[in-house]
Structure 1
Amino acid sequence: MRLEAAPLPVPLEGVFVYRTDRPYEVAVEFRGAGVRIARWVFSRELLIDGQSCATGEGDIQVWPRWSGTEPRVLLALSNGERGCVVSARAKDLRELCRRMTELVPRGQEDRHYDLDAELSALLTF
């Protein structure tokens, strides 16, 4: 991954994490010196759809960039006070999304996650 900063992009250690027991989400963890610096959790649909068109509102936005020597996918991350734009190689994200949808196909997330049970547990007094 790269932190897109002027005048030159800065290499950044970022790892995407996907779990089949949480099929609706994907996380990206940023690390430095072996320590997790930040973690963002968002809809996997943003990552899947953001490969081909701009998507997302507010805190997280994803879009492709086809110019330059290597196609990339950009992620704008904000917490309301601070933000950054990072990018990953499009081919790496394409492979990640392929593996995610192979593990849990689109539209079949509910087979891996019982939303009703989770809501019942939250609403129990």
Structure 2
Amino acid sequence: MSTEAIHAEFVALYDGTTPVRSRWSFRADQPFTVTVAFQTERQRWVEWAFSRDLLADGLRGPAGVGDVRLHPEAEDGLTVLVVEIESPEGYAELELEHMGISSFLAATERIVPFGEESAYFDVDGLIDDLTRV
């Protein structure tokens, strides 16, 4: 099973004004998932995992109906990816450089091409993990 992974850091703008560091990760052994962590004011990292397909869809247009929603937005010649995250603890809207996130997504596809995720996903390992008492 491939354990190839990529990690990237980006600065997001919270409500268009406050810079927020973000760490994006993708692992070949978890080919359906992208993980992003946002640094809080208290130097903690809040992590969210969501579908790689959701990220791809959100780069092209509005996507997501749950805790993570994405859409591109263009203004003054600059395109950003707007990431909305929501939990019982609160709501945040962040803007990230569209091109940087697009490059990150392209790097995930070099590791695991879209449509070939099942060849990298260890179903038996997942079942073992879920049934281990």
TM-score by length of 2: 0.81
Is 2:84 the counterpart of 1:86?
Answer: no
Aligned twin of 1:46: 54
User: Tell me, what secondary structure is at the counterpart of 1:12?
Assistant: strand
**Runs (4+) of structure 1 moved beyond 6 Å?**
none
User: Tell me, what secondary structure is at the counterpart of 1:54?
Assistant: coil
CA distance in 1, matches of 2:79, 2:122: 37
Q: Contact conserved, 2:31 with 2:112, CA < 8 A, in 1? A: yes
CA distance in 2, matches of 1:14, 1:81: 19
Q: Answer with 110-119 or 33-42: which moved more.
A: 33-42
CA distance in 2, matches of 1:37, 1:4: 15
Letter in 2 for 1:3: L
Relative to structure 1, the CA distance from residue 79 to residue 62 in structure 2 (aligned partners, 3 Å threshold; closer, same or farther) is same
Is 2:112 the counterpart of 1:107?
Answer: no
Unaligned runs of 5+ in 1: none
Relative to structure 1, the CA distance from residue 2 to residue 117 in structure 2 (aligned partners, 3 Å threshold; closer, same or farther) is closer
- 2:13 pairs with one of 3, 12, 32: 3
User: Tell me, what secondary structure is at the counterpart of 1:85?
Assistant: strand
Root-mean-square deviation over aligned CA pairs: 2.1
Unaligned runs of 5+ in 2: 1-10
Letter in 1 for 2:74: W
Is 2:85 the counterpart of 1:67?
Answer: no
State the shift of 1:17 in Å: 0.9
> Matched residues, percent identical?
24
State the shift of 1:31 in Å: 2.5
State the shift of 1:57 in Å: 0.9
The alignment covers a number of residue pairs equal to 123
- Which structure has greater strand proportion? 2
* 1:19-34 alignment, distance < 5 Å: 19-31=27-39
1:87-122 deviation digits (Å, cap 9, x = unpaired): 110110110011111110111111111224412441
Aligned twin of 1:98: 106
User: Tell me, what secondary structure is at the counterpart of 2:127?
Assistant: helix
Letter in 1 for 2:99: K
